[in-house]
Amino acid sequence: MLALHGGTVVLDQPDPHFVWPVVTEQTRRAINRQLDQTVSIYDRSGIFKEFEDDFAHYQGAQYALVTNSGTSALFGIYEGLSLGPDDEVICADYSFFATSGPLIYLGVRPVFCDVDGNGNLDPDELALLVSPRTKAVIVTHMWGVPCQMDRIVEICARNGIALIEDCSHAHGARFKGRLVGTFGIASAWSLQAQKLVTGGEGGILTTNDREIYVRAQLQGQYNKRCREEIDKNHPLYGYALTGFGLKLRAHPLAIAMAAEQFGNLERWIVQKSIYAARFDNALREYEFISIPKTVNTSPSWYAYTFRFDPAAAGIERELFVKALYAEGLREIDIPNSMRPVSDLPLFSAPEQAMPRLRHLAPAEGRTNRTNPNSRNYWGSAIKLPVWAFPEDEGLVLKYIEGLKKVCDAIRAGEFKNSASRA
């Protein structure tokens, strides 16, 4: 009998069941070492240089730049491309708001594109949205499952549009064997606490484009770094002392931690892929569940997000999750911060908060696109953590047992029977 109906729970273990980041003795040593060296780095030296070199080498990129957040890394790319009023950038409607938030700050109009069955930007929809004002497309590899990059690359190339990747969920993920973050003109990663590679807070961008690198530095890393890195003959060298008026520099302790965590990335992804395959195998038989579509991709499994169809199941998603929770599966989550972003006031009415953005106010009589797939994805998604260590196998098996128990109960009509008993 289901625990929800008074039966025995599957997993009787206090939570949390999933702890991230994983702080080991090695992590502490890396941070302490940095503490003994310096807690502020003004130029491209020390741990900044070390991590940027390692990350750029891994990504096969010419330049990398650490920042104080993933949001700042994205902001740096947009400033790097000199985007401003009159420009449009196509973004996925389903994402975290930080993907497109900095565009608003720059007065750029984000155009929100509908998504595919993984919550990723849909290439068919993208093709319909390109206009003469489109300067760039930014994709987000949601939950670590890469977007359909071959089609997106082709559409951008055909239309002469810059392609940017938000890889904040997807450190180390691959599409057709090629690392995400290598398909466009520039890419950004968050290094925030929940991310696969983390320093608690932080971000990094990579590019092969010297101009983007220079402008991104000028935006947030004024004085010493700019003076040392930017060619004295560059037309913007005169701004090296002040930059563009902001300071978005990373914290060395955060980067020391991220550099240490980065060394585990490939090993974690291998283990996560094993567990994700187990979730796939356990869940694919249920007609009311859609597992992530991973053809051509090697995800990083930031999370395992599947979709629940209440009509096919005969119960609401919330009741399904409540039943799983009752079985002791406390890490089961209905994601909410990842959502359709276009109707958030920051995007639907930015001018009301920041009057300088009057030009972004919706034109009279113009209605926003509704992006139904983005809403459906949001309304049906359920998220599980993907553990990264062989020692976690017991927990993973318990989560699978709990999931199957509740799914089998749905099939057996137990929820209907309990409703009629009530």
**DSSP H/E element including 71:** helix 70-80
Compute the least distance from the CB of residue 31 to ligand PLP, in Å: 19
Q: Does 300 bind ligand PLP (CB under 6 A)?
A: no
Compute the least distance from the CB of residue 374 to ligand PLP, in Å: 14
Nearer to ligand PLP, 74 or 406 (CB): 74
Question: Which residue's CB atom is positioned nearest to ligand PLP?
Answer: 70
| Nearest-angstrom CA–CA distance, 187 and 44 | 19
Q: How far is CA 141 from CA 48, 94, 116, 165, 328, in A?
A: 26, 11, 12, 8, 30
Q: Does 166 bind ligand PLP (CB under 6 A)?
A: yes
Q: Please, how many CA atoms are within 13 Å of residue 134, restricted to the half-sphere of its CB?
A: 24
Contacts of 236 (CB under 8 A, 6+ apart): 214, 215, 218, 230
* Three-state DSSP class for residue 195: coil
Q: Does 168 bind ligand PLP (CB under 6 A)?
A: yes
Nearer to ligand PLP, 72 or 380 (CB): 72
Closest CA to 101 of 391, 367, 350: 350
Nearer to ligand PLP, 76 or 328 (CB): 76
Q: Does 95 bind ligand PLP (CB under 6 A)?
A: yes
* Three-state DSSP class for residue 296: coil
Q: Does 165 bind ligand PLP (CB under 6 A)?
A: no
Q: Does 100 bind ligand PLP (CB under 6 A)?
A: no
Identify whether the C-beta of residue 5 lies closer than 8 Å to the C-beta of residue 416. Answer: no
The tokens of 95 are what?
């994402």
Pick the piece of the chain touching ligand PLP (CB under 6 A) from 22-30, 66-74, 222-230, 247-255. Answer: 66-74
Compute the least distance from the CB of residue 137 to ligand PLP, in Å: 15
Among 44, 169, 215, 249, binds ligand PLP (CB under 6 A): 169
Closest CA to 228 of 82, 45, 52, 46: 45
Sequential DSSP letters for 9-21 = -S---PSPS---S
Q: Does 69 bind ligand PLP (CB under 6 A)?
A: yes
Nearer to ligand PLP, 70 or 328 (CB): 70
Q: What is the largest CA-CA distance in the chain?
A: 81
Pick the piece of the chain touching ligand PLP (CB under 6 A) from 68-76, 84-92, 108-116, 306-314. Answer: 68-76
Identify whether the C-beta of residue 174 lies closer than 8 Å to the C-beta of residue 297. Answer: yes
Interacting positions 187-216 with ligand PLP (CB under 6 A):
190, 192, 203
Among 91, 98, 173, 180, binds ligand PLP (CB under 6 A): 98
Nearer to ligand PLP, 95 or 217 (CB): 95
Nearer to ligand PLP, 69 or 410 (CB): 69
Nearer to ligand PLP, 72 or 134 (CB): 72
Query: Taking CB under 6 A as the rule, which mask of x and - marks residues 125-164 in contact with ligand PLP?
Result: ---------------x------------------------
| Nearest-angstrom CA–CA distance, 89 and 367 | 18
Nearer to ligand PLP, 180 or 313 (CB): 180
Q: How far is CA 41 from CA 25, 171, 189, 204, 400, in A?
A: 24, 25, 20, 15, 46
> Please, where are the H alpha helices in 122-264?
123-129, 149-159, 210-220, 224-229, 252-262
Q: Does 96 bind ligand PLP (CB under 6 A)?
A: yes
Question: Tell me, what DSSP letter sits at residue 293?
Answer: P
Task: Indicate the pairing of strand 63-67 with strand 203-207.
Answer: antiparallel
Compute the least distance from the CB of residue 4 to ligand PLP, in Å: 32
Q: Does 76 bind ligand PLP (CB under 6 A)?
A: no
Nearer to ligand PLP, 7 or 335 (CB): 335
Compute the least distance from the CB of residue 8 to ligand PLP, in Å: 37
Compute the least distance from the CB of residue 247 to ligand PLP, in Å: 15
Specify burial of residue 5 (Cβ count, 10 A radius: 0-12, 13-18, 19+). Answer: middle
Residues that bind ligand PLP (CB under 6 A): 69-71, 95-96, 98-99, 140, 166, 168-169, 190, 192, 203
